[in-house]
Amino acid sequence: MKSDKKFKRKCVACSQYKDKQDLIKITKTKEGEIILNPDTLTHGRSVYICKNEECINLAIKNKKINKALKSAVSQEILEQITIKN
């Protein structure tokens, strides 16, 4: 059996594997800057969240984004995530 997880990413809130285009990507660069939906050339520690409201609220409420990025995420970025939904 082939694993179909190879080209999918895991949502930090619901732990489901989904295609990259179905998720919001948040990346912390090597300089410490946090970017919402960066281009593919941006490298660093990343976290993915489903585009549905339940996953976004769960990730913010339980501070799963902060834990995954090992850094505090500003309120501005969290507001942008909820607006993009």
Q: How many CA atoms lie within 13 A of 48 on its CB side?
A: 15
Mean pLDDT for 2-16 is: 82
Mean pLDDT for 16-40 is: 91
Domain locations in the chain as residue ranges? 10-84
Instruction: Look at the block and give the residue holding tokens 């939904």.
Output: 85
Does the structure show a pLDDT above 60 at 5?
no
Predicted confidence band at 2 (pLDDT cuts at 50, 70, 90)? low
Q: pTM of the entire structure? A: 0.85
Region of residue 21 (left: phi > 0; alpha: psi -120 to 50; beta: else)? alpha
Region of residue 78 (left: phi > 0; alpha: psi -120 to 50; beta: else)? alpha
CATH topology of domain 10-84: Hypothetical Cytosolic Protein; Chain: A; (3.30.1230)
